[in-house]
Copies of this chain bind each other. A is one copy, B any other.
Amino acid sequence: MNTPHQHIIKSYDEELKRLTGEIVKMGELAVAQIEAAIDVVERRDERAAQRVVDNDDAIDVLEQEISQDVVRLFALRAPIASDLRNVLAALRIAADIERIGDYAANVAKRSIPLSRVAPIPVAGGLANLAELAADQLRNVLKAYHDQDAEAAYEVWKADAELDEAYTMVFRALLTYMMEDPRNITPCTHLLFMAKNIERIGDHATNIAENVWFVVHGEPLVAPRAKRDTTSNPEP
């Protein structure tokens, strides 16, 4: 590990704090991407949508930087016990945020073909879903920053609401498809967009589980009862 920065030896606590700060920054970018994605869906703005897709690179770059920081931290500090738990959780949380960024970018990308056809009046439901997901991510980032396991648990529980909102959007989309075959293609995009947002919520609950684990040293649930409310939809 002969890097030019090797001579800058900060205190261990400072390094961990820096890592946490980077992850929160990465998470805030992802929140902004979710909100920007849903904004371009509503405005039907192709160029803005492409900008959201392009901005995902910034999140990917941050994840790579965090991975490198973690490798450096391991090499210089060889963390054990709760510090090790902290660093491994940081890696996992960064991976979750990276996936959230991908989902947000995919929502923006799918809005491009949608902006070329007649609007499906489900955008309100989708925006509501995205707002719930953005709130979940915002709240779990705060819980992570504050090392607040109880706040993380609240996020974990609130995922059920997001699942319900998803099911509502899903069923509305089915009815639009049945009403008019011309709606089918745009509605498949909207289906995947809604699913992407629901998955963002799942990643927020993963982060919540990691916060709990960091604070308490044991899993929140083992293994988590998995919800998948749309495996058997009856429209």
**Which residues of A come within 8 Å of B, CB atoms?**
1, 57, 60-61, 64, 67, 70-71, 74-75, 78-81, 84-85, 88, 91-92, 95, 102, 106, 109-110, 112-113, 170, 174, 177-178, 181, 184-185, 188-189, 191-192, 195, 222-223, 226, 228, 231-233, 235
**Chain B residue at minimum C-beta to C-beta distance from A88:** B71
Given the complex, which residues of B lie within 8 Å of A67, measured CB to CB? 88
- Cα A1 to Cα B109 in complex, Å, equals 47
Given A1-B81, A113-B232, 16 more A-B residue pairs with CB atoms under 8 Å apart are A1-B80, A64-B223, A71-B85, A74-B80, A91-B91, A92-B95, A106-B231, A109-B228, A112-B231, A170-B188, A174-B184, A174-B185, A177-B177, A177-B181, A184-B184, A191-B191
Given the complex, which residues of B lie within 8 Å of A184, measured CB to CB? 174, 177-178, 184
- Cα A175 to Cα B92 in complex, Å, equals 40
- Cα A188 to Cα B233 in complex, Å, equals 10
Would you give the shortest CB distance from A108 to chain B, in whole angstroms? 10
